[in-house]
Amino acid sequence: MERPTLILDADTIRLPNCRSVRLAGLDAPELGQLAIDSRGHRYDAGLAASRALLDHLEAKVAEGFVARVVGDAQDKYGRILGSITLEHPDGRAEDVGEWLVQSGLAVAEYGERYRTDEAEARAAGVGMWGGRLAYRPQAWRRRGARAHPMIDRRTGRPGCLVILVALTVLVAALIAL
């Protein structure tokens, strides 16, 4: 049993032993992949999915859940291909991939495992299905799309340009004093 420590993106989680797990059977939007919400506003679907997953995992860990990784195959990047099940001592359990797809934060891909979950999320209009996602993540990558220049792909945080602008504004404000 291991506790997830880092969300690399919504379909890849790093564990304390530095192993990365690529959730099989689904694909989440990439950091910087823009979508349009139900009000017509653009947002970073990859960042939103990653943050929602992090919040969800933190809440589950606070409730006493621990993560069990199942999978022994590796992808070309050396990540474990498998699933993560959150297990509680009282017997409750949750498949993290299923939660992502049911919440509209990832799409079913590379098999049939989560197809019904995706169809239900679409019908309910939850997550990315509440607005408009221009491309499924795999198609977005094939188009050669890149992460939004304001987002650091490694951290999902504002990149150097945003930090530089913020520091410039702060210095200008201090000078004005």
Whether residue 161 sits in one domain with residue 84 = no
pLDDT confidence bin for 89, thresholds 50/70/90: very high
Locus of tokens 């694909």: 27
pLDDT confidence bin for 1, thresholds 50/70/90: very low
Which CATH number do you get for residue 93?
2.40.50.90
Residues 12-27, mean pLDDT to the nearest whole number: 87
- Cα–Cα dist 101/56, whole Å: 13
Residues 107-136, mean pLDDT to the nearest whole number: 90
Q: Is the pLDDT of residue 17 over 70?
A: yes
Whether residue 130 sits in one domain with residue 108 = yes
> Is residue 60 one of the residues assigned to a domain?
yes
93-95 and 80-87: which strand pairing? antiparallel
- Cα–Cα dist 126/37, whole Å: 10
Residues 49-72, mean pLDDT to the nearest whole number: 90
Q: What is the DSSP string of 39-84?
A: TS-EEEHHHHHHHHHHHHHHHHHHTT-EEEEEEEEE-TTSPEEEEE
Between 13-27, 43-57, 107-121, the lowest mean confidence (pLDDT) is in 13-27
Question: What is the number of structural domains in the chain?
Answer: 2
Q: Which DSSP state fits 154?
A: T
- Write out the residue range of the structural domain in which residue 133 sits: 6-146
Whether residue 127 sits in one domain with residue 66 = yes
The whole-number pLDDT of residue 101 equals 96
As beta bridge partners, residue 30 has none
- Cα–Cα dist 99/176, whole Å: 50
Whether residue 18 sits in one domain with residue 80 = yes
